[in-house]
Structure 1
Amino acid sequence: MLDTDWSDGWRGAFRIELRAEAIGLAWHGWPVLPGTFPAAEAGAQAWSGPVPVHDDWADRLGAHPNQVADWWTGQPYSLLVATGRVVDAVEVDTELGKRAARLLRATGHPAPIVATPDGRWLFLTTVAENLPEELATSGAVRWHGEGSWVPLPPTPFQHGVVHWRVKPDVWGWTLPAADAVHEVLARALEQEDRHQQLVAAASVAA
């Protein structure tokens, strides 16, 4: 895995893939940014995830694909997309993500979904003004809106690579409406709460 192989040759090959993905997303109008990446000499606790490389990253949003290509010329930077403009993201754990994904498939309207090696799922949507109260107060959901960012594939982590669960071309690069995805996530959260209540009741009865 990535925590055991960060040779210069490997990073060089990986940079080409990251660069190609970044350029492609930029051509689709997504505000991509270069992010930090785990270094070969870094210990397991020295890198907790990618953040923008440039302090003025907010001023660089919407860069032309040619500029994006230049950013990835020398380093295997992580691939980030800024949220709050073109795209928002709702972050949940794996179990809640699986429940929501099943509900979305049942409706016939899947959303682009990203999964990270540390067990987080990101549902990508159009930009929203806020998160519904039942999601915002649940403690199980994190909304990435204006001023935030999320990693996109194939961003490397210490123990794996960010990957697509549902690719954006499934929607023809048209993001699903935020309120529709929020509604499905709220239903999935309600299902999870009911499941936990049943498990707790069964434990008490035993």
Structure 2
Amino acid sequence: MLDANWPDSWRNAFRIELRAEAIGLAWRGWPVLPGVNPVAVRGEDDDLTWRRPVPAYDNWSDVIGAHPHQVAEWFCDKTHSLLVATGTVLDAIEVDDELGKRAARLLRATGHPAPIVAMPNGRWLFLTTAAASIPAALAAQASIEWHGAGSWIPLPPSPFQHGVVHWRVKPEVWGWQLPEASAVHEVLVRALEGEHAIHLVESSAA
């Protein structure tokens, strides 16, 4: 996403935006981490493939909860991806686009939408309070990933190959109070069951 052909003013503006977001989240107590940007690597077919951002430091778990001043220093002179460690302040459930849309509709129907992040690779992240586990129905799905202790997620406006990570539902909607994990898990299970029911109807009609 960070095109080498961008004017310096664009790249600087993007770097400033990332830094401002990182500092703001750190002041709210979110465990911000600097991440490397997705990098292009040569695959077996010689096409360019992309990796998701990972922490910039191998000892990232040792710096969880860094002071906002430290976060400001990390993002001062480099364009890092904006990561947040999960398993302490917050968790995230990562799902595909179809399930994400179904769950988002159900959450809106309750009148209490959760913060939702969308990534350019078609994956959605539902943010919740930290939890000790997730329902078996979710854990059994290969397409669903729980980001808890020992993991991290990218937050806006981290760059990807064809765009940037962005909010579908901003944390301001909840007044920066994360929804209880169990409530969001329940909605995701309902969305999953509804998705399976639709597939069964389609299969029987074929």
Tell me, yes or no, whether TM beats 0.5.
Answer: yes
- Aligned residues between the structures: 201
Contact 1:27/1:65 (8 A) holds in 2: yes
Decide which moves more: 137-146 or 74-83: 137-146
- Give how far 1:3 is off: 6.7
Match of 1:75 in 2: 78
Any unmatched runs of 5+ in structure 1? none
Deviation at 1:139, TM superposition (A): 2.1
**CA apart distance, 1:120:** 0.3
Report the Cα distance in structure 2 between the residues aligned to 1:8 and 1:55, rounded to whole angstroms: 32
- Residue aligning to 2:14: 14
**Secondary structure class of the residue paired with 1:179:** helix
Where does structure 2 lack aligned partners over 5 or more consecutive residues? none
Equivalent positions of 1:47-126 (< 5 A) are 47-126=50-129
Residues 4 and 59 from structure 1, CA distance in 2 versus in 1: closer, same or farther, beyond 3 angstroms? Answer: closer
- Cα distance in structure 1, aligned partners of 2:75 and 2:41: 21
**Corresponding position of 1:30:** 30
Secondary structure at the residue paired with 2:33? Answer: strand
Native 8 Å contact 1:3 1:159 kept in 2: no
Structure 1 stretches of 4+ moved >4 Å:
3-6, 41-44
Q: Distance in 1 between matches of 2:67 and 2:33?
A: 11
- The CA RMSD measured in Å over matched residues stands at 1.6
Q: Secondary structure at the match of 1:54?
A: coil
Q: Give distance in 1, aligned partners of 2:162 and 2:52.
A: 11
Percent identity of paired positions between Structure 1 and Structure 2: 64
Counterpart secondary structure, 1:124: strand
Matched, 1:173 2:176: yes
One-letter amino acid of the counterpart of residue 11, structure 2: R
